[in-house]
Amino acid sequence: MAPASLYTGLIDKYRDRLPLPADVPAVSLCEGQTPLIRLANIERDLGGDLSIYAKFEGLNPTGSFKDRGMTVAVTQAVAEGSRAIICASTGNTSASAAAYAARAGLTAFVLIPEGKIALGKLAQAMAHGAVVLQIQGNFDDGMRLVREVAAEAPITIVNSINPFRLQGQKTAAFEIVEALGRAPDYHCLPVGNAGNITAYWIGYSELATASGATTTVACSHCGGECPYPREPAITARPRMLGYQAAGAAPFLKGGPVEHPETVATAIRIGNPQSWSGALAAQQESGGWFAAFTDDEIVETQKYLARREGVFCEPASAVSLAGALADIRAGRIARGSTIVCTLTGHGLKDPDLAIARMQGPVVRVAAERLAVEQALMPHLD
């Protein structure tokens, strides 16, 4: 038995708020408890009178927020007697599914778009022993195929259409409230398949709702009739702001994008599976959607890394790009508390970072004088 003080993962911490049998052991890699980092340097760059935080989900076990949902989805799959799981993925879901399947002794099948996945993510899925199928199509084709296969085979889908996934992901909202003592005024998120913005809204809504009241229609698990009644922990919920890449922005277009394109591979999705939940989160909270170019996304990724020492993957950076744009435009009010979710670590996509953000590499002789001469221009 683990020592009582040892953190053993988000299921054990929040089991009373999760739809899992009390006697089912958690399939966990000690996910959760990711840091909420105050971006003090960026606050100063903006002139102050703001509190901006990054919820850095890239410090989960497989390097992304997907671990929160996967621990609950795989635990439930084991409880149901499943022997295999399947997902379509732009990368992060495949890495997480493969790791948690390995932990549980299950077989993981992952469908990835051909040539459209960051190598760091592909390496993870392969390392954990997943059966990797590269399809000649995009993520949306993969989701269609996963649904068709799961309808005929004894296999559990662990994409965010699985309601247990969002139940795990909602716990990030719990952690933010625990850290701040309240909900932020604005919560900024990347939007690809749209499960995460939905899950955060479910989490905040649970914390804000009294016993017997309707929480949010975004929750497909309970339809708004929350089974976890208690006294409200917060008096107000944040505005939910969803940001997309300009080449993959179905919420801005008002419908699916047939051929989504962006360097932010994690949100290169044209037909979000959690469309209705994300729309409910935006509408119920009084939030909005916006889109940013690849250049804006990569520049923000570099700015965050060099100004705050936080290295996130490109898709994550769109949350901060959106926050900065809306602060400067006055849509986000001064005096506000803002949280930006950084969904994945920058090491997920090292090739892009090297190609788009590389600083000067200076070749010098292996001599002290040569090194000193190379350093001096940077010390003025």
- Which whole number is the average pLDDT over 328-337? 97
CA angle (306 as vertex; 301, 312 as ends), nearest 5: 35
pLDDT score, position 353: 80
- Which whole number is the average pLDDT over 177-191? 98
pLDDT score, position 379: 86
Neighbours of 277 (CB within 10 A): 24
- Which whole number is the average pLDDT over 370-375? 92
Res 245 pLDDT > 70: yes
Tokens of 198: 């939905």
Distance CA 56, CA 310 (A): 8
Tokens of 77: 């799959």
Confidence of residue 98 (pLDDT cuts 50, 70, 90): very high
pTM over the 0.75 mark: yes
Distance CA 349, CA 315 (A): 10
Domains: count for the chain: 2
Distance CA 209, CA 280 (A): 16
Q: Are residues 256 and 267 in the same domain?
A: yes
Task: Please say whether the beta carbons of 215 and 209 come within 8 A.
Answer: yes
Q: Are residues 176 and 285 in the same domain?
A: yes
Q: Are residues 178 and 293 in the same domain?
A: yes
Res 49 pLDDT > 90: yes
CA angle (357 as vertex; 352, 358 as ends), nearest 5: 105
Tell whether 1 is covered by a domain: no
| Neighbour-count burial for 147-167, b at 16+ CB within 10 Å, e otherwise | eeebeeeebbbbbbbbbbbbb
Confidence of residue 211 (pLDDT cuts 50, 70, 90): low
Q: Are residues 41 and 153 in the same domain?
A: no
pLDDT score, position 339: 98
Output phi, psi for 342, to 5 deg: -100, 105
pLDDT score, position 2: 64
Task: Please say whether the beta carbons of 128 and 108 come within 8 A.
Answer: yes
Q: Are residues 191 and 211 in the same domain?
A: yes
Distance CA 265, CA 349 (A): 9
Helices vs strands, H then E, count in the chain: 15, 10
If you ran DSSP here, which 8-state letter would residue 344 be given?
Answer: B
Over residues 122-173, the pLDDT tens digits come to 889 999 999 999 999 988 899 999 999 999 889 999 998 899 999 999 999 9
Q: Are residues 110 and 202 in the same domain?
A: no
- Which whole number is the average pLDDT over 341-364? 85
Neighbours of 353 (CB within 10 A): 19
- Which whole number is the average pLDDT over 176-188? 98
Q: What is the CATH number of the domain that holds 160?
A: 3.40.50.1100
Domain interval for residue 243 = 11-63+166-357
Helix, coil or strand: residue 174:
helix
Q: Are residues 71 and 23 in the same domain?
A: no
- Which whole number is the average pLDDT over 207-214? 75
Q: Are residues 183 and 248 in the same domain?
A: yes
Q: If you search the block for the tokens 């020592």, which residue do you land on?
A: 3
Tell whether 3 is covered by a domain: no
